[in-house]
Amino acid sequence: MLAITELISGGICLVRRAVEVKAARPLAPTMSDVARKAGVSAMTVSRALRGGASIATETREKIMNAIEELGYVLDQSAGSLSSKRTGFVAALVPSLNNSNFADTARGLTDALQGSGLQLLLGYTDYSTEKEEELIESMLRRRPEAIVVTGGKHTIRGRKLLENACIPVIETWDLPPKPVRHVVGFSNAEAAEALVKHLYARGYRKIGFIGGTSNRDTRGADRRLGYERAMAKLGLKETRIISFGTPPISMKQGGEALARLVEQWPDLEAAICVSDLSAFGALTECQRRKWPVPRRIAIAGFGDFEISSCSHPTITTVGVNCYDIGRQAGELLLRAIEGERTQKPVAAETIVTDYEIIAREST
Amino acid sequence: MLAITELISGGICLVRRAVEVKAARPLAPTMSDVARKAGVSAMTVSRALRGGASIATETREKIMNAIEELGYVLDQSAGSLSSKRTGFVAALVPSLNNSNFADTARGLTDALQGSGLQLLLGYTDYSTEKEEELIESMLRRRPEAIVVTGGKHTIRGRKLLENACIPVIETWDLPPKPVRHVVGFSNAEAAEALVKHLYARGYRKIGFIGGTSNRDTRGADRRLGYERAMAKLGLKETRIISFGTPPISMKQGGEALARLVEQWPDLEAAICVSDLSAFGALTECQRRKWPVPRRIAIAGFGDFEISSCSHPTITTVGVNCYDIGRQAGELLLRAIEGERTQKPVAAETIVTDYEIIAREST
DNA sequence: TCTACATATGTTATCGATAACATTTTGAGT
DNA sequence: ACTCAAAATGTTATCGATAACATATGTAGA
């Protein structure tokens, strides 16, 4: 039967039907199937599905019914091949399970609302090697723009970003030599501000708790800011404990505090690379029955919910995470529009706000 | 120049080059460009890139050099159109910023390692409507399998899942009427076990804190389990506070506790729908200088890091989040293989473990 | 030396949609 | 009734890769 059908008609559609009978599961219906059922051409179906073209109400209804009956779902990869619009942008963040980056992702998603663009998230696990892999596999799917976190990439990763003929936005940092667009702030400067805050409150013997490597570039920048501020304020002795692979956890924050006070028993205040480790440090104090901030003051970074909810509440640096995403999203839309109209927008750097949020722990 | 080129050769490639000169940015190179540069056919390039075929070492090198020089990146959407393998699976979770689901995503990613499949994450924000949208936009990109959280979907969402000719896995729950495969556990049963634990420790006046709606089905199941256990234990009076849109935050947990003790001042223990709200409840007690568990015992759900780090530590239900993802991933690989070999695997339900983790707060 | 089979490569058709262009129908204005 | 633009639909070529088949070369065994 199959062979005969092929010989007589040579028709693709008939062969398709014949195969369908044999297959264990039916093949997913295509646009032509819908078109045939509705008695129109495939092009009309395409137009009906995407809107923007004029279609007779009656025709549209026939098409929608056919789609409903067949359970048809558009195949976008086929569509984007011919239209050269994949309808998505890629965003790489270090970790999903981090409310800061989750907020940035939310900002991005919101900015993309209604633009017909979807967000495709990848997480790099704070590794530039993994980032490189992700950049490549994202580019293979031809995103219309790509957002990355930070300005540190592998050499090949950077080259891939530069060669990709799409807008590139680096976020959460102010890279000295950005690939193109930037939406971020200086983590070092923010950490400096935090040190100054502690100084203003009278603390002098200030320590810093962070991870062991520079994998988390923002964490490394914050330490740098701490060191710079200490030097500027004439506080010669820095007290730094590096412990755990970034991003360090609550528990590691506690352990790090233990080491910090062991090494420098005169410690008056501890700045932690993030609120999570700050909370760990706080509970370590509580276990020792050390009053915070009377015995030791503690500050974090990122304004996670825990810092405003813990007892005592924790002083921290509030970052406009959502806004970083939002602004990146809006910039990206402008840039994509620029590409499409052959009028590329100039490289832009948007600096976002941060603020010291003084709470009970200092 | 452009016109002449077109007239003389009619060659697509030459025209392409001509366009390239005019365009503001060069078009991304294609496989044919690579092939031409390497002096081979496009098919050979394709084979060299995917491995598995025999290619002369010399040829492969020429090709790799050409790729390097042109900065070529494979266009997967074109490839998957002809190969009918998109190389990704979709996973929908309620929220990314939740270590439980992040762990599940990690388990999935790990299981997919080396299979050539990528994970595409979407978050539904605990809304079945948003889930429906996501299911559709995922299916448009033709994933090879889809993993969803929970067994509650919109009618259309469910239909989309059923019609999609790909393996479907529901996780984190044991739906009474699953679409197909399931990897999860009974949230109600786990909550029951937690009530029994409190009962065994002598608590009788036990309350429950959760969100106001059933959006978070797992949260609703937990409340159900609480009610069932109370009834089974002969504890007539249930004490339930519903507050805030799920998932409820730390702060809302604190507020809910305040309401709970206001309404039932004799309260002895509070079970919270998640560890985050449990922590909020704990700090509310601390603000009131109520000793936990002496004045009130507190228990959570999910074994988030905060519960083992807070002071006191919080009793909770440990869920094998990572394992849910891992098992779902492995099941999904088997199922995909089954589809490909025309031997569909039978619908499977894998029940994962949970355990009561008794800590200082009870 | 010749067959037979593996290795290495090329050719053509195709995946499922959309762009670009062509055609037909409709309807308003004169 | 007639013109002309807008509305509605169809036709064909194409996007960039890969499957399937075809072909050429090399090489081991009879």
At A130-176, the pLDDT tens digits run: 999 999 999 999 999 999 999 999 999 999 999 999 999 999 999 99
Give the pLDDT of residue B14.
29
pLDDT given at position A85: 93
Sequence-ordered strand ranges (E) for A67-174: 88-93, 118-123, 146-149, 168-171
Q: What confidence score (pLDDT) does residue B51 get?
A: 82
- What is the residue type of A234? G
Answer whether residue A45 shows pLDDT above 80: yes
Alpha-carbon distance B223 to nearest alpha carbon in chain A (angstroms): 24
Question: A49-75, pLDDT tens digit by residue?
Answer: 998 888 999 999 999 999 999 999 999
**Residue A340 burial (C-beta neighbours within 10 Å; 0-12, 13-18, 19+):** exposed
Query: Per-residue pLDDT for B12 more than 90?
Result: no
pLDDT at A12: 26
- DSSP 8-state secondary structure symbol assigned to residue A172: S
- Cis upstream peptide for B167 (omega within 30°): no
Phi/psi of residue B11, each to 5°?
Answer: -75, 135
The closest nt to A83, taking CA to C1', is C18
Q: Is the peptide bond before B293 cis (omega within 30 degrees of 0)?
A: yes
Instruction: Chain B: give the shortest CA distance to residue A129, in Å.
Output: 15
**Best residue in A77, A132, A279 for a mutation probing chain B (most B CBs within 10 Å):** A77
- Check whether A183 has a pLDDT greater than 80: yes
CA of A73 to C1' of C28 (A): 39
Residue A1 has pLDDT above 60, yes or no: no
| pTM of the complete model | 0.90
Radius of gyration of chain B (CA): 28
Q: In what order do the strands lie in the sheet with A168-171?
A: A118-123, A88-93, A146-149, A168-171, A181-184, A349-351
Tokens of A186: 């200086």
Residues 6+ apart with CB under 8 A from A79: A46
Inter-chain CB proximity A309 and B280 less than 8 Å: yes
Lowest mean pLDDT among A240-254, A335-349, B297-311: A335-349
pLDDT average, residue stretch B218-245: 97
Give the angle subtended at the CA of A77 by the CAs of A76 and A80, to the nearest 5°: 80
pLDDT tens per residue, range B34-55: 999 999 999 999 999 998 888 9
| The predicted structure's pLDDT at residue B26 | 60
Q: HSE on the CB side for B117, CA within 13 Å? A: 26
Burial class (CB in 10 A: 0-12, 13-18, 19+), A238: middle
Where on strand C do bases come within 7 A of a protein Cβ? 7-20
pLDDT tens figures, B58-70: 999 999 999 999 9
Nearest residue of B to residue A25 by CA position?
B165
Place A26 in a pLDDT band, splitting at 50, 70 and 90. low
User: Using the 8-state DSSP alphabet, how is residue B24 labeled?
Assistant: S
Give the residue-averaged pLDDT of A205-234: 97
- In chain B, which residue ranges form alpha helices assigned H by DSSP? 2-9, 12-22, 31-38, 42-50, 57-70, 76-83, 99-112, 128-140, 155-163, 187-200, 217-232, 250-263, 275-287, 305-309, 321-340
Confidence of residue A17 (pLDDT cuts 50, 70, 90): very low
Whether B154 has a pLDDT exceeding 70, the answer reads yes
pLDDT band, residue B96 (cuts 50/70/90)? confident
**Is-contact B168 B131, C-beta < 8 A?**
no
Helix (H, G, I), strand (E, B) or coil at B206: strand
Give the percent of chain B with pLDDT over 90.
Answer: 88
- The pair of structure tokens assigned to A221 is 């920048």
Kindly tell me if the per-residue pLDDT of A332 is higher than 60.
yes
CB distance A150 to A175 below 8 Å: yes
Neighbours of B196 (CB within 10 A): 14
> Which residues in A114-180 belong to E strands, given as ranges?
118-123, 146-149, 168-171
- Would you call B313 an interface residue with chain A, using a CB distance cutoff of 8 Å? no
Distance from the Cα of B279 to chain A's closest Cα (Å) equals 8
Q: Do B165 and A26 touch (CB under 8 A)?
A: yes
